[in-house]
Amino acid sequence: MAQIGAPAYLLCMYDGFFLDAAGQPILTEDGRVSYRVTFDAKGKQAARRALCIGLALLASGCMGKADAKKADDATARFYQEVAGKQYQAIYDQAAPELRIASSPDAFIGMMQRIDGAMGACQPPVKRLYLRTNASPGVFFREQGYKRTCANGALQESVTIVLRNGEAKLAGYNVQSPALPPS
pTM: 0.66
Structural domain spans, the chain: 3-57, 63-175
pLDDT, tens only, 131-178: 888 888 899 999 999 999 999 999 999 999 999 999 999 999 999 988
The closest of 168, 114, 116, 118 to 141, measured between CA atoms, is 168
Q: Could you tell me the CA-to-CA distances from 160 to 64, 143, 179 in Å, in that order?
A: 15, 8, 24
Q: What is the pLDDT of residues 5-58, one digit of tens each?
A: 333 333 333 344 455 555 555 555 666 655 455 555 566 666 666 666 665 555
Indicate the CATH number of 63-175 among 3.10.450.100, 3.10.350.10, 3.40.50.300, 3.40.50.150. 3.10.450.100
Q: Minimal CA–CA distance to 161: which of 94, 69, 86? A: 94
